[in-house]
Every structure is written in structure tokens, then in C-alpha cells.
A and B are shown apart, each in its own frame.
Chain A
């Protein structure tokens, strides 16, 4: 089956700093790739996705580009805010049937003012 590796946290940044969270994957074929975010005390919600190679997903100032050459889907934001403090998960389908997702272990981001 497919697998995903995500950089360990926690990541601590000051407001307006640049953010990168690394995510690499192994997969059969070219599955869709996802970033989910979990705010304190809540369930996960979709942040962005990319469905094919070279696609760029974007939302709320976050971006990630589907790189098949490096099998990566790194999350970036140019200027983080305190409200971005959360846990971020990279995910992809567990197999080609696409009936379930597998998630990375999550990266905790803390942003201070």
C-alpha cells in the first residue's frame, strides 16, 4: 500500500515568518494528495488538495505543489499568523481503490505574536 512521511514537530514560529512543512510519499500511480488541519479541540478539516502532478493546491494563504519527481507535497505559507497555530496532516489514499486515506503523524505549529 501507499505510505506518507511527514516532518516531525513541533514547529515554533513568530508571526509573519515563512512556514514549510515537509511531506513525502510512496504510492502506486499518481494519487490525489491532501493537507488537513486540526485546530485545538476540533476534528480535522481539509486545508487543500492536488489531484495530479504539478497541480498546486491553495487555501487561506497556504500552498502545496504535487511534485511527482521528488514524490513530495510540501506545505508552505509566506507569512503565518497566530490563528494558524494547529496540527497539520499530510494524507493520500491508502491504495488505488481509494476507499480510505492514510495520514502522516501530524506536525504541530505554534505561532507567537
Chain B
């Protein structure tokens, strides 16, 4: 049981290049999330998905696109990278325990992206 895995762990891009970050989970979770973490800003939600084939915008979606073609995978794309997208990106997944409206998010180890 690997939990949540992220690929790659590190990446350096030049301005204008594109890339895709892959997140995979083996816990059969319905919900998946992409966050970015920047110093002094905490975690900010980029996009999320409540099920296969569905996605929704979070707090800071501009410049990113996502896809959830399979339940276990959630892809984050940068079409034209900018230096402002230099950050650490975390993927997370969760179940939903309906009765008490509580749920735990499980996080991947992160991808450190630098855009020069």
C-alpha cells in the first residue's frame, strides 16, 4: 500500500515550457486535490476532484489545468510555466465519512518545481 505518490519529485523548467505532474493513490479514495505551498502562504488549493471525470477550481486555479480520467490518478498541468509558479506542489486524497462530516486528507511527498 503506497498511499499517495507523486511524480516527479523535482523539476526545473524554463519560462514558457509545459509539464504535467502526476498523482496516484491506491486507497480507492473518491476525492483528490492539488495544493501549492509557498513560504508564509501556507497551503493553497489549486484544483480538486470529487470523483472520476469531475474537477473543480480551488483558490488559485489560474495557469493550471487538471484531469481525472481514472479514479486513482489526478494530473496537474502547466501549459506555459511562469516564475510565479515556482513552488512545492502537494497532492492529497480523501474519503468522506458521511455521518460525522469529518474526513482525513492523505498527502503525497511533494514535487519541488522551479521555473527560471
Contacts and interface: CB of A to CB of B under 8 A. Distances in A.
B116 interface: no
Contact of B109 (A42, A93, A99, A106): A42
B74 interface: no
B101 A32 contact: yes
The B contact surface, by secondary structure, is strand
Contacts of B56: 99
B2 interface: no
Contact of A101 (B40, B50, B105, B109): B105
Contact of A105 (B4, B33, B42, B110): B42
Interface of B: 4, 31, 33, 40-43, 45, 48, 50, 56, 58, 90, 92, 96, 100-110
Interface of A: 31-32, 34, 36, 41-46, 49, 51-52, 89, 93-94, 98-106
